[in-house]
Each structure stands twice: as structure tokens, then as C-alpha cells.
Amino acid sequence: MTEQFPVGKWLYESLPEVYRSRDASEGYPLRDFLMVLGETGDVLLDEAERLYDNQFIETCEEWLVPYIGALIGYRPVHDVGRISQRALVGRWIELVRSKGTAATVEEVARGATGWPAKVVEYFQNLAHPQFLNHLRDAVHGGLDMRNVARLEHLGSAFDSAHHTVDVGRIALREGRHNIQNIGLFLWRLGPDQWPRHQAFQVGPRRFALHTLGLDTQVFNTPETESSADALAGPVNLPIPLGRRFLDANLADYYPRAFRIWINGLEILPGGMQICNLSDSGAGWAHAPQNTVAFDPVLGRIATPAADDPPDSVEMEAYTAFPAEIGGGAYERAAGFATALTPVTTVATGDNLQTALTGVQTGGAVEITDSETYPGSFTIDVDPDQRLEFRAANGQRPTLELTADMEITGAAQSEVTLDGLLIGGGAIVVPDTGNNELRRLTLRHVTLLPGITALPDGTPQQPTAPSLTIEAPNVIVEIDSCVLGGIRCHPSTVIEVGDSALDATEKANVALAALDGESPAGRVTIRESTVIGKINARVFTLISNAILMAELATGDTWTIAIQAQDTQTGCARFSYIPPGSKVPRRYRCQPSLALAEAMAAAKEVTSTLSPAQETAITRRVQGRMRPGFNERRYGRAAYLQLRNSTPLRIRTGADDESEMGVWHQVYQPQRESNLLTRLDEFLPSGLEAGFFYET
């Protein structure tokens, strides 16, 4: 209104016509005066409208958001996602109106952590006597051992059995089932999509979801609750799909969670059976006769024995992973080199090697589907040129190498690999005498640890490196990747960030020179987990990392983690095994805990005997070490820290997140947010505890 009708103009047009006519005859002096006077009116009107807008969270200025939130008790928490504080405060106003309800507590938990959540009111699961005139069949103290579905849910968020009272405090995880207890179950693993692709062929009628043949648990894709006051059920949560559960509820999860096509025709629930397809001798158990069998726990498909072996089996499904690293179908477009031209697209049936050769003078090759590309591939780049070999955004193609992929380049050339899942061979930068490749970047790439693996994830070549840099003076950047061991020229500069470097066993070599023993070049490790021994010339930086290594019996190495030059660089906020030779440490474990334990002991006894020092050292080092839920790539909880891992490791990073590759998940901050919010929304007299389902 102010822009179309300034106050000065409005005042002038409000005057009687006789005054405006006289003013016109005098050259409009009155109009000019009112226009000047109206400028102050415009300012006052704008200020009034601004003050009015600032009363509402939807229209207020950004600096006022925390103040409006403070009026209703909103306290800012750790930022663990791309959510504006304005949106949080706006939603908070709605939640305050429904304080004390289970649905509100559930939504608060989701908002505070960013993880799917379910609330369980434990008083409903308490066994108690019944009134004989009004019997409730679902309430009983005994457990029906014939009800398999109910038994499978024992201890989970969907436990419907009735329990006696636990008197321990739920917040301290001493007990759950009591009248005043509320349980919050959280699903930490994020969705990991497998777009439609050809399944890996294990045998004539046997196929696997994973394109490298690994067993893979299938998860549900959550759907939104029907209303704001509805509690989350299994269909609303990213639960791992069990065999019996999916068989009983197939219509609720197909085709949302997974889909199967045989020879191009989609299989409907009526033509499918859910069963156990575990190994049984040379084949699988429960081979179907007339229907397509699917095992959601192993991600396996078996086609009917009564039909001919199919020409094509395709699948689309969701698995789970702690965060977005390695080859995956998540958002990666922000990392693409958009300035590179030409961009050659490749799909099934195209010659991938021809496309790579065609951009030797610079450009990008983009795979636009999620299929498997078998073969032997080489990359060569002209001087001062850059080549990017990537998966299209939202796709996860697989390179099934029949020989190592060799990368060469002329002076000042660069190669980037992005979004690829690679197995069957390693990446090699050979020393051809004229290979002057300057930089190799691996971003969101999986180089299968152990080169190849059995379906259960057991590596077939556990000591073989996934990446070998034979040429001198190459800079290697590894960002958000999963890969096996590295062997490199002593002049190589290696930067590892947000990645897992997995030599498959702690006694294997994760990083060393080409002979597997001599020191590699300059190494930087940030927010990463390394499994295996390391010998480097210089550790430029070790930060927020977990290094897990040990010496084997009869090992030729004398130190599992060692730098030849310890006067250069820094090791900070990391787990570094005892006895390691690294640069000066700052708040690293277990050395920090050991120093504190020794200092505390000396306050009691000023002089400690060697036996006492040895006992303290053994106790601290034995306790202060990481533990992982899963150690094999292909499992959903790969390298996820156990809850039993000491708090000083789980919150030991410089920002109080956890050390290691899953630092980026910010689990401690999410837990802190949850505890802060629970204090504000729990009904008086109730106590809550939270538990991890994944």
C-alpha cells in the first residue's frame, strides 16, 4: 500500500478540489510541501508495518528469530542439518500447543536428531492382573512361544510382550519397563538407494541385489504418518526387513521398498514368495518351483525352477549406510566440474573405453545409469588438461574390472573419479617413464577392500592394495571414499578426508611404499578411519581420526604406525595405537587418558613402581580402544562405533563429535539436542531413555 500511495500524495489528493486548483495556478507549492511532509509519514508507516511483521515468526527479520523463540522457551541446539532456525521456531510454536502427548515427543525427537524415531510408553507393556468381567486378550503375563512374529520383536521398538517392572532408571539404561518410563527408539542409518539395475548373477537362477555379489540387507523406505497426532509404525520407519515380517506384510512394502523385474516384466506380490535363501551346500536353501523367491536379509533372488533361466533380472531397492560416502546414488552434483567440456554420456551398450579415450584432450565422461561395466579400462590425459570420470547424479554404476585400471597423463594433467563402485581390480598410476600425472582425485568412490569378496564380505585378496601410485610426484586426494590399502612412490602426497582406508585386518598394510614396508610420502588424514599399518615419511596432519593397527606374530615391521620425520606435522584429537611413532600429539587417545591416570595415581602415591605403572598402562590401554558394530564392507553398520566404545573416543574430536570416518554424522551433538528437548516436552513425573535400533 505504501509504494502505490505515498503519504504525501495521499494527503494532497485528500484536499478539496478548490485548493488543488489554486495550488496548480500557483505552481504547486502546496503539493511540494506535502510531499516533503509525507516523506516523514512514509518512514513512520514503513516502521509501523515492519514492527507488525516482526511480531510473527513467518515474516520477522532474521535477527529476531532467537528472541521470538525465547518467548516460548525455545533454546537453540547444535546444527546437524540444513534446517533454518526460523523453521524450527515456527514448528516449535505448534509443538508447544500439544505438549505432553506421545506424538509430540516423537516429533521432537525427530526434529532434534534428524533421525526417524518412535516413542514407546512402557506402562502399556507391563504385565498386571485383569478384571475378570472385562478381559483383554492382548494383556497377559506369559509369553506365547509359538508366536514367532512376537518373539522376533522382543527388545525392539515393536516389542508387544508384557514384562514385570524394572526399577532401574531408564535414563541410565538400567531398566525400561516401569509406569513412568518413556522409550525413544532411533534409526541412525540413512537410506542408501540402489536404482534399477541388472542384478549380479550368482548362478543360472540365482541373483544378488549388490552388483559385486555381496549379501545386502534391504531396508524399508518410510512413508509419512497419516496425521500429525499419529505414532510411527513400521511402515513409517527405515526398518531392516525381516523374512517372516515381510512375508506377512508384503503388500505394505512392495513396491515402495523394493521392486523386481524378470525379463523386463515386473513381478507382482502374487508371483513372489519371501523365504530364506541362505547357502546350502553348493546352492541355496528353499529354491522355488513356481514363484520368484526373495530374501530381504541377504538381498538374494531365485527364479522358478519350472521356468527357463531368465535373460534379465533387474532390481531396485533401498539399503542403509551411516552417511553419504563411497559410490552411491545420493546428491553429488555440487562436486562436479561443470566447466569441463565436452561431457560424453555413457549408458548400457556404449563403449566405455572409447568414451574415455575421446576426452583425452580434456572433458568428462558421465555414466547415466546404475549398470555394471565389466572390462579393462585405461585413462590417459594430454598436457595441462583435466579429465573427470563420474557417475551421473542419482546413479551408482559399477566397474567390474578384469585387470587393474591404469591412469596416465602428461605434464600438469589431472584425473578425477567420482561416484563409482569398483571391484575386481585396483587403480594403478604406473611409472612408464613419461607418466607425469600431477593430481589424482577420488571423490565418493568405493574401491572394494580386498579387490574381490565372498558374499559374506570376506575379502579374497586381503593384502592386495586398492590403489597403487608408481609414478613420482603425484598428489592424491581422497574425499568421502571407501578403499583398501595404498602403495605409493615416496614422493607422493596423499590427503585423506572423510574416508575409510580399510586394509581388511589391523596387521595388514594400509599405507606404505611400493614394497609394502618402506615409508610412503607426505600423508594427511582427517576425519577418517584407517584399518591397517602405516609407514609414512611425514604425517602432515592427523586430525579427528581413528588409526587401528597392530603387529602380527613374526612381523617384519617393528612399529605399526610410524613416521620417519616426527619433527614435522601434528597429531590431534585422534585415536593412535600405543607405541606408534607420530608427530607431537595433542589430546590423542589413549595417551591422554594414560597421562591423566598416571597423574591421578601420583597424587595418591608420589612415586610409582614399574609394576604399578605397567598395571595402570595395561588397564587404560585395554579399555581405551574403539569397537565397531561391523568390520566388513557391505554391511549396513560398517565401521560404526559401538555404544560400548569409551566416551572419550565417541566425543573425542575437536568439535566433540566422534573420531573417525563417521565424525560427519555428529552423533554426540544429536544426542545432546535430544536430551535438551526432552527436558522441555516430557510430561511432569515421566522419565525417558533413548535406544538405537540401527
* CB contact set of 196 (below 8 Å; sequence gap of 6+): 259, 261, 314, 315, 316, 370
| Beta-carbon-side half-sphere exposure of residue 75 (alpha carbons within 13 Å) | 11
Nearest alpha carbon to residue 522 among 500, 508, 507, 538:
538
**Model confidence pLDDT, tens digit, residues 46-68:** 777 777 877 777 778 887 787 77
Percent of the chain with pLDDT over 90: 52
Q: Which residue has the higher pLDDT, 137 or 455?
A: 455
The mean pLDDT value for 606-613 works out to 82
* CB contact set of 457 (below 8 Å; sequence gap of 6+): 214, 215, 632, 633, 634, 635
- Asked if 361 and 340 count as a contact pair (C-beta separation under 8 A), the reply is no
Does residue 227 carry a pLDDT above 80? no
pLDDT of residue 493: 95
**Which amino acid is present at 651?**
T
Does residue 627 carry a pLDDT above 70? yes
Q: How far apart are CA 373 and CA 371, in angstroms?
A: 7
Local confidence band at 427 (pLDDT 50, 70, 90 cut-offs): very high
| Beta-carbon-side half-sphere exposure of residue 648 (alpha carbons within 13 Å) | 17
Residue position matching grid coordinates 512392495: 254
**Model confidence pLDDT, tens digit, residues 98-112:** 677 788 888 888 888
- Asked if 59 and 89 count as a contact pair (C-beta separation under 8 A), the reply is no
Does residue 637 carry a pLDDT above 50? yes
Local confidence band at 183 (pLDDT 50, 70, 90 cut-offs): confident
**Model confidence pLDDT, tens digit, residues 456-482:** 999 999 999 999 999 999 999 999 999
Local confidence band at 141 (pLDDT 50, 70, 90 cut-offs): low
* CB contact set of 497 (below 8 Å; sequence gap of 6+): 478, 479, 480, 524, 525, 526, 527, 528
Total Cβ atoms within 10 A of residue 566: 14
* CB contact set of 245 (below 8 Å; sequence gap of 6+): 149, 152, 234
**Model confidence pLDDT, tens digit, residues 281-308:** 888 888 888 899 999 999 999 998 888 8
* DSSP letters spanning 154-223: TTSTT----BPPP-S-TTTTS---STTEEEEEE--PEEEEEEEEEPEEEETTEEESSTT------B----
Give the burial string for 128-158 (b: 16+ CB within 10 Å, else e). Answer: eeeeeeeeeeeeeeeeeeeeeeeeebeeebb
- Asked if 444 and 332 count as a contact pair (C-beta separation under 8 A), the reply is yes
- Asked if 89 and 70 count as a contact pair (C-beta separation under 8 A), the reply is no
Does residue 1 carry a pLDDT above 50? no
- Mean residue pLDDT of the chain comes to 87
- Give helix 102-113 / helix 667-681 axis angle, nearest 10°: 150
- What 621-628 contacts at long range (C-beta under 8 Å, 24+ apart), as own/partner pairs, is 621/578, 621/590, 621/594, 624/589, 624/590, 624/593, 624/594, 624/648, 624/649, 625/575, 625/590, 625/649, 626/546, 626/548, 626/575, 626/659, 626/660
The mean pLDDT value for 153-170 works out to 82
293 phi and psi angles, rounded to 5 deg: -100, 140
Q: How far apart are CA 197 and CA 311, in angstroms?
A: 14
Q: Which residue has the higher pLDDT, 152 or 619?
A: 619
The mean pLDDT value for 13-41 works out to 72
pLDDT of residue 2: 41
Does residue 175 carry a pLDDT above 90? no
Q: How far apart are CA 135 and CA 437, in angstroms?
A: 78
Residue position matching grid coordinates 527357463: 308
Nearest alpha carbon to residue 182 among 119, 111, 101:
119
The mean pLDDT value for 626-643 works out to 93
Q: How far apart are CA 638 and CA 319, in angstroms?
A: 12
Local confidence band at 338 (pLDDT 50, 70, 90 cut-offs): confident
Does residue 270 carry a pLDDT above 70? yes
Dihedral of the CA atoms 666, 667, 670, 674 (nearest 10)?
A: -170
Percent of the chain with pLDDT over 70: 92
Local confidence band at 157 (pLDDT 50, 70, 90 cut-offs): confident
Local confidence band at 125 (pLDDT 50, 70, 90 cut-offs): confident
Q: Is 648 helix (H, G, I), strand (E, B) or coil?
A: helix
Query: Chain-centre distance of CA 459, in angstroms?
Result: 23
pLDDT of residue 188: 92
Query: Chain-centre distance of CA 293, in angstroms?
Result: 30
**Model confidence pLDDT, tens digit, residues 501-549:** 999 999 999 999 999 999 999 999 999 999 999 999 999 999 999 999 9
The mean pLDDT value for 544-559 works out to 93
